[in-house]
Structure 1
């Protein structure tokens, strides 16, 4: 037993430098493609393309702005598309414990968008990014509308928060996470991504095209798990304020989504009069890849429906819950 423990200790001690060297190789293969903006001392990475009304794209858990590249290319002939790396992921800086809040993430991204001249955007969020898109609307009364794609926007009972809590525990951060960062094989990463696309097949070049391996770097892996662990608690706080919003909200989700249950997150939102749901039969979690036309149609509907300014209580209720880094 003593020898086993000593061997494990040696393995863990070797993991950190191995993981750091692997992270350097990953970044060399997947350099940042956009520009950097500084918000309250933190760098935010953004990719901008196209011309027209502003559409902000927010990726989900474990991802980066590159997951939105295909959708951005489809939109750029009619919209100016701003794709952000959420704080702590991709090439955006980490905000520490404050960044576990979707409200804080949204405020930093909103301040970065303001530096790009964005004033009344349509904000689209996929998966975890859906929560950040809703947070954006709560703190910014000039948001034109929100599109939530397979988004986690309401709290749920039980489920993955316990699993994520274990994976983000101090013990796991000292053991499992360094091991995964150093040694997780490509085939396992592809398998995990494949479960998100199911029942649709994983596109053969998806991982390479989107730089999916960026999520294996130690910092983003740790931040991602922490964000997921704390998400439900913030949704409990945000959910009651959704009724204060009067801007158009479009929800697009697959009926076969095994990651975010439509009956928990999408269907209950239709109780709000300004919410329109598009439920896609047989489509899984990656609806913006499996059915991009439906997502673009939702963006176009928001653009046509325009914006009705929400009452002051919508901004006030959420703004008091977190620090504001910018204008």
Structure 2
């Protein structure tokens, strides 16, 4: 238990270093940082735009009791080399993910995409369905690449880039962290969201903005792998209504995560881990939904 005066991230960083340690893979012309724990069926976790591999810590500690858990720092995040294009596509991120899985000798996995990570997860699942047993999307960002959303795309891109350039990452972390959670979130959850967001790299975050504003998750359909969508019931960023609509467009199941905002893996790690453990079980029995 944390005492009232202890920084809640200190204990979490200790767990991160000891039980969900980073590995840095040397790939063709680049390096890729991942965190890994456990053994068994493989589950691969892709974080959102304002986060990193460490955001999955408490989920990974639960899942690693019965699975091999891999979480990456997306290209341009943490110690991962950015992608070459200034405005990379989801296919570029998917190609790096393929290199990563090959380097880890992972043939098949349950693939989980949170927020912006959902676009990469969907693209990878469409391109390499033989590598994915099941796809799980948590509070998926659809993106703004649909031509019908051009006005919104321009607004979101301008606002995100303006914040990055004028505020900088530390101030962004201070201002945006609370929006990632429900109003009932613990001080520990808020501190961990802020710690993860404060570790963003300028170039990687800028590339992720281009992905968010230039792509559309529905472009990577139809999916030929089993898929499910979950969303925090208090998510104010990718709202339950928009996530439900996306699930309907994909033709897949949709459920809410109680007492959670957008950053459900941090706010409700035990619930999220339970949903993902069930997805792993379903992937092993061949259940479609």
Q: Same fold (TM over 0.5)?
A: yes
Distance of 1:78 and 1:277 partners within structure 2 = 25
Runs of 4 or more off by more than 6 Å in structure 1? Answer: none
Q: Secondary structure at the match of 1:52?
A: coil
Instruction: Say whether 1:246 aligns with 2:224.
Output: yes
- In the TM superposition, what are the counterparts of 1:49-88 in structure 2 within 5 Å? 49-88=37-76
Shift of the alpha carbon at 1:178?
A: 5.6
Q: How do 1:278-317 and structure 2 match up within 5 A?
A: 278-281=255-258, 283-306=260-283
1:263-282 equivalences under 5 Å are 263-273=241-251, 275-281=252-258
Matched, 1:163 2:147: no
TM-score by length of 1: 0.70
Which runs of 5 or more residues in structure 2 are unaligned?
A: 1-15
Q: 1:255 aligns with which of 207, 218, 233?
A: 233
Tell me the secondary structure at the aligned position of residue 100 of structure 1.
coil
Distance change in 2, residues 1:268/1:150 (3 Å): closer
Unaligned stretches of 5+ residues in structure 1:
1-29, 309-327
Match of 2:133 among 144, 148, 169: 144
Question: What do residues 48-102 of structure 1 show as CA deviations (whole Å, max 9, x unaligned)?
Answer: 1101100001111121111111111111010100110000112111113266212
* Distance in 2 of aligned mates of 1:129 and 1:58: 5
Match of 1:180 among 157, 167, 171: 167
Structure 2 equivalent of residue 108 of structure 1: 96
Q: Decide whether the 8 Å contact of 1:250 with 1:298 is kept in 2.
A: no
What is the aligned partner in structure 1 of residue 199 from structure 2?
A: 214
Aligned length: 263
**TM value normalised by structure 2:** 0.78
Aligned partner of residue 132 in structure 1, secondary structure = helix
Relative to structure 2, which stretch is displaced further, 159-168 or 52-61? Answer: 159-168
Q: What is the match of residue 7 of structure 2?
A: none
Q: Distance in 2 between matches of 1:250 and 1:294?
A: 15
